[in-house]
Amino acid sequence: MQTIYVPILKCKQGEEKALSHLDSNIKSVIKPLLEIPYSVTSKKHSLCGHLQSFWSDYPFFFYFMPEWQNKSQEPYSTFISDKVLPIINQLPGTPVINLSSTEYIKNWKPLSKNGIAIRLRNNEFSEIASLLNPLFNSGMIEVSQTDLIFDLQHISSDRLDDITSLLDTTFSNLPNAHEYHSIIVASASFPKNTYTLDYSKIYQFNRIEDKIHNHLLNLSNQYGFHYLFSDYGTSDMEDYKYIPGIFPNFKIKYTSWENYLYIKGHSITKGGLDIHNVRHLAKLLVSSPDFSGPEFSWGDNIIYQIAEALTLSPGNLMNWISYNMNHHITLIAKEL
């Protein structure tokens, strides 16, 4: 089936479990972008074996986090041959290369076996003429084999007009947009700061991604390109940094098409993961009209079981990342 959605997830236990428990009908219409952290080197499997353990036989994009280069200190060509090419040759993985890294690649042909994706952050959109176009003008890469990823990163409602103007300018400066295999636009709008919110209360935040999506549908019609929606969902774009004396709170992060829901629990050192506290928050969500129902997804079913005391396990923080993301991916894929 044709890909309609590109969720961006880190290769960590919670996100991996969310993917592995997706319904096959959902798996067949998404192509996740897996961001691989350096910590995955501690896994017992080979890297290819690890990816297959939770996403077997389905196509995916993969991106090595910058920390790989910072920590390995190996030449970029060695990194490509030792880390990137084995995934391309053994699995249906499409490599994602930062626009800023393209100058270090001398031989594109081995990388393009499963297609190639070039990722531009929002501060790189202005470099299309100077860095991106020369790659195709020189014949190093075929436009038709290339997925272009415009990563808006975190967006907010007060910047919506600026973002739509940026996209308008970007596509007016992008020659032959219709020739790309696809053009993927990613963003995230889940609030970064939730520290001041009250406990045990459902907060709703408008999803800005759907407004960007509607604007891009118009642009894709105008310029004739194959557009794919992409987002970061309910996951944090930045890794949690441990600070001595500061411990994370239990929380539920849930998605409807128009809103994100957030329910804040107590710190894990103050009983945040005790079954009665987790069940109380799960009941708040299940009783909300935004809850999709226990049959909607694997994640929804587990949340319902916890709320209705059908299980005695509250799960842990990693488990709840799985429930939240499994629901999110299912919802977006069905809505699209």
pLDDT, residue 208, reads 94
Q: Do 46 and 36 form a contact (C-beta atoms < 8 A)?
A: no
pLDDT for 115 equals 94
pLDDT at 38 over 90: no
For the stretch 78-89, pLDDT in tens is 888 888 999 999
Over residues 74-103, mean pLDDT: 89
pLDDT of residue 242: 52
- Reading the block at residue 176, the tokens are 């032959």
CA separation for the pair 110, 126 (Å, rounded): 28
CB atoms within 10 A of CB 273: 20
The confidence band for 168, taking pLDDT boundaries of 50, 70 and 90, is very high
Residue 50 host element (H or E): helix 47-54
Phi and psi at residue 180, to the nearest 5°: -70, 150
Average pLDDT of the chain is 91
What is the residue whose two structure tokens read 């118009």? 218
CA 149, CA 145: separation in Å to the nearest integer? 13
CB neighbours of residue 183 within 10 Å = 23
Work out the pLDDT band at 41, boundaries 50, 70, 90. low
**76 CB neighbour count, 10 Å cutoff:** 14
pLDDT tens column, 290-306: 999 999 999 999 999 99
